């Protein structure tokens, strides 16, 4: 019992270690860069209302994650580490509440396995490493749904109110999806469990709840609407919600089967047991939490399968609920039923090593890191060891070895992606060409990380004439752009390329121009 009392603290600190690996590495992912810089600019201006990126209105997201990053910047200074700190903490909280909730309703073995499933998931770990709103959204969706289930079982007024507070905070994190998606899950669960009635609805105190949600989220939405003359409201609700759902945005499309593939791939290794785990849910109908967790998982997958824009992070809120379904199956698995799944993992982990090797080889700046592909051996060796223990009929040992190997692999990926790979970010290399007095502008397009590292507004140039005039006025200045944009013009008479590097895992190349030292007025607009 004494050991059990310490388990939540142990889980929190293991999660903190796991999700912190590599978070001080350079920011190079587009969404991370824009969110981190937006928070920095809001803090610089002392503005809690209007989000900006490169000092221009940013309509992508509501502000709650910006607020947490601003707190972190105020306490620890502006850095990559401080931008990601609260993402890590919300990941720890998500794991902890998943453990506590599963323990209460399904027992400690299932609760511990829920943690194991989450921590051994590579994508779960990566998701909570980044300075984006998704870690916060996952926590608030998970919390609101857990509180909903508790409220149904215990008829607790306090938990109903907390549920609505989480929904309101979720709406401040990513908008109406944070209310619509949990609301849909709640409705479907009530219908499937035959609890949908007026008495049940009144038990959830919807009228008080509506007031809590409105008082939590509406003041900021009204304030930003007023201060931007409706520009933020239009951009967010029309472009970043309705259009993103109805149409493919930024090339992130695919078939409706992409959504379940994202979840199954993201929850490896234990997602290989999903068919057996789902079958067991229906055998264990006396445990309503399993039906609830499965309903939440399938509803999230189905919702984003219906969306025209599909990304792996969209379906990540399903992970805590899917983990509970898988954990319940794994917790008392003691019979030989899963040889095919282990063989699949052996093949997968064997292919992972050359995939990482050739993936790094495809990026010219990362070829020196190819040897690090060997760091993914633990998942392969663990899969082989799992098959060995399986044949010895030591089923739980087999599963534990499997979890350990993929957990180590998850740590390796975090270190490689957020530290070793990020160190090759072309933006950081470009900064060596500048100082605090250098005039810097960009031509048409630029790498999204520049504003975060330069910590100033970068003005834009749109024409060849403007580019030539800039070098006339600032012969020591530099222009940042993308190679394909510069290929559209002829600048050889007055400027030259002084730096060029492909952006990491992107189809664009960051290019830097400097003056030739003399300007010949021969170019045309």
Residues 29 and 141 in one domain: yes
Which H or E run includes 497? Answer: strand 495-502
pLDDT for 110:
94
Report the CATH number at residue 446.
3.40.190
Residues 158 and 30 in one domain: yes
H or E segment to which residue 52 belongs: strand 52-53
**What is the C-alpha separation between 348 and 409, in angstroms, rounded?**
13
Q: Are residues 136 and 223 in the same domain?
A: yes
Q: Give the sign of the dihedral formed by CA 438, CA 439, CA 442, CA 447.
A: positive
Residue 522 counted as domain residue? no
420, part of any domain:
no
* Model confidence band, residue 522 (pLDDT cutoffs 50, 70, 90): very low
| Maximum separation of any 2 CA atoms in the chain, in Å | 83
Q: Report the C-alpha gap between 115 and 96 in whole angstroms.
A: 8
Res 243 pLDDT > 90:
no
Residue 362 located in a structural domain:
yes
Distance of alpha carbon 439 from alpha carbon 458, whole angstroms: 9
Write out the H or E segment, with its range, that includes residue 109: helix 108-119
Instruction: Band the pLDDT of 3: cuts 50, 70, 90.
Output: low
> What dihedral do alpha carbons 24, 29, 34, 36 form, nearest 10°?
-10
Question: What is the CA 289 to chain-centroid distance, rounded?
Answer: 26
Q: How do residues 268-291 score in pLDDT, each as one tens digit?
A: 999 999 999 999 998 876 688 999
Degrees, nearest 5: CA angle 70-75-80: 65
| Spatial distance between the Cα atoms of 173 and 62, rounded to a whole number of angstroms | 5
Query: What is the per-residue pLDDT for 311?
Result: 77
* pLDDT tens, position by position, 220-234: 999 999 999 999 999
Whether the Cβ atoms of residue 424 and residue 366 lie closer than 8 Å to each other = yes
Examine the domain organization and report whether 104 and 156 are in the same domain: yes
Residues 14 and 142 in one domain: yes
Is the pLDDT at 454 greater than 60? The verdict is: yes
Domain boundary among 331, 355, 388: 331
Q: Do 86 and 225 share a domain, yes or no?
A: yes
In the predicted structure, residue 523 carries a pLDDT above the cut 50:
no
Q: How would DSSP label each residue in 82-101? A: HHHHHHHHHHHHHHHHHHHH
Task: Note whether 249 and 396 are same-domain residues.
Answer: no
- Confirm whether 48 is domain-assigned: yes
Taking residues 457-470, report their average pLDDT: 92
440, β-bridge pairs: 478
Verify that 463 and 323 share a domain, yes or no.
no
Structural domain contains residue 525: no
Give the containing element (helix H, strand E) for 110: helix 108-119
- Identify whether residues 30 and 169 lie together within a single domain: yes
Q: Are residues 67 and 145 in the same domain?
A: yes
Residues 326, 349 share a domain: no
Whether residue 509 sits in one domain with residue 460 = yes
Residue 350 lies in a domain: yes
- Establish if 520 belongs to a structural domain: no
Length of the chain: 525
Range of 367's domain?
339-415
User: Per the domain annotation, does 421 fall within a domain?
Assistant: no
Average of pLDDT values for 11-29? 93
The Cα 298–Cα 303 span in angstroms is 8
Question: What does residue 520 show for φ and ψ, rounded to 5 degrees?
Answer: -110, 115
Tell me whether strands 52-53 and 509-515 are parallel, antiparallel or unpaired.
unpaired
**Which of 138, 174, 176, 143 lies closest to 160 in space, CA to CA?**
143
For the cut 60, the answer to whether the pLDDT of residue 301 exceeds it is yes
Please report which residue ranges of 267-394 form alpha helices under DSSP H: 274-283, 288-306, 319-331, 339-361, 377-391
Of 415, 438, 472, the one marking the end of a domain is 415
Q: Choose one of 359, 386, 415: the last residue of a domain.
A: 415
pLDDT in tens, 65-98: 999 999 999 999 999 999 999 999 999 999 999 9
Structural domain count of the chain: 3
What count of other Cβ atoms lies within 10 Å of the Cβ of residue 477? Answer: 16
């Amino acid at each position: 019992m004494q050991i059990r009392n310490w388990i939540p603290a142990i889980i929190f600190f293991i999660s903190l270690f796991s999700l912190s690996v590599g978070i001080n590495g350079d920011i190079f992912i587009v969404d991370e860069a824009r969110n981190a810089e937006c928070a920095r600019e809001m803090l610089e201006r002392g503005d809690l209302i209007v989000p900006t990126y490169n000092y221009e209105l940013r309509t992508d997201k509501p502000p709650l994650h910006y607020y947490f990053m601003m707190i972190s910047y105020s306490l620890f200074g502006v850095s990559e580490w401080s931008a990601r700190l609260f993402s890590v903490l919300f990941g720890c909280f998500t794991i902890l509440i998943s453990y506590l909730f599963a323990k209460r309703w399904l027992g400690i073995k299932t609760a511990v396995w829920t943690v194991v499933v989450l921590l051994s998931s590579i994508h779960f770990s990566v998701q909570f490493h980044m300075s984006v709103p998704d870690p916060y959204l996952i926590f608030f969706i998970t919390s609101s749904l857990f509180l909903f289930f508790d409220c149904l079982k215990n008829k607790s007024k306090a938990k109903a109110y907390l549920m609505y507070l989480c929904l309101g905070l979720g709406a401040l994190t990513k908008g109406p999806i944070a209310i619509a998606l949990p609301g849909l899950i709640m409705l479907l669960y009530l219908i499937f469990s035959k609890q949908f009635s007026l008495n049940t609805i009144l038990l959830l105190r919807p009228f008080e709840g509506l007031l809590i949600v409105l008082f939590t989220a509406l003041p900021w939405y009204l304030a930003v609407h007023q201060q931007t003359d409706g520009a933020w409201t239009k951009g967010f609700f029309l472009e970043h919600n309705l259009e993103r759902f109805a149409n493919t945005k930024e090339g992130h499309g695919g078939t409706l089967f992409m959504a379940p593939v994202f979840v199954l791939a993201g929850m490896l290794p234990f997602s290989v047991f999903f068919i057996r785990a789902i079958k067991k849910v229906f055998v264990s109908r006396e445990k309503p939490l399993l039906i609830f967790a499965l309903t939440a998982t399938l509803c999230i997958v189905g919702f984003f399968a219906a969306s025209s824009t599909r990304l792996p992070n969209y379906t990540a809120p399903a992970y805590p609920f899917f983990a509970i379904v898988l954990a319940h199956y794994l917790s008392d698995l003691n019979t030989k039923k899963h040889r095919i799944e282990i063989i699949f993992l052996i093949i997968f982990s064997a292919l992972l090593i050359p995939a990482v090797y050739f993936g790094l080889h495809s990026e010219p700046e990362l070829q020196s890191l190819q040897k690090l592909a060997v760091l993914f051996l633990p998942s392969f060796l663990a899969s082989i060891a799992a098959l060995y223990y399986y044949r010895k009929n030591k089923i739980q040992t087999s599963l534990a070895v499997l979890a350990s190997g993929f957990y180590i692999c998850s740590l390796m990926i975090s270190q490689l992606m957020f530290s070793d790979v990020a160190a090759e970010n072309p933006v950081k290399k470009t900064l060596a060409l500048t100082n605090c007095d250098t005039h810097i502008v960009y031509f048409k397009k630029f790498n999204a990380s520049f504003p975060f590292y330069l910590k100033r507004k970068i003005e834009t140039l749109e024409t060849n004439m403007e580019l030539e005039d800039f070098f006339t006025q600032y012969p020591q200045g530099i222009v940042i752009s993308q190679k394909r944009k510069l290929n559209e013009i002829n600048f050889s008479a007055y400027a030259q390329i002084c730096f060029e590097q492909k952006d990491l895992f992107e189809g664009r190349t960051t290019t830097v121009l400097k003056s030739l030292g003399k300007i010949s007025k021969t170019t045309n607009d």
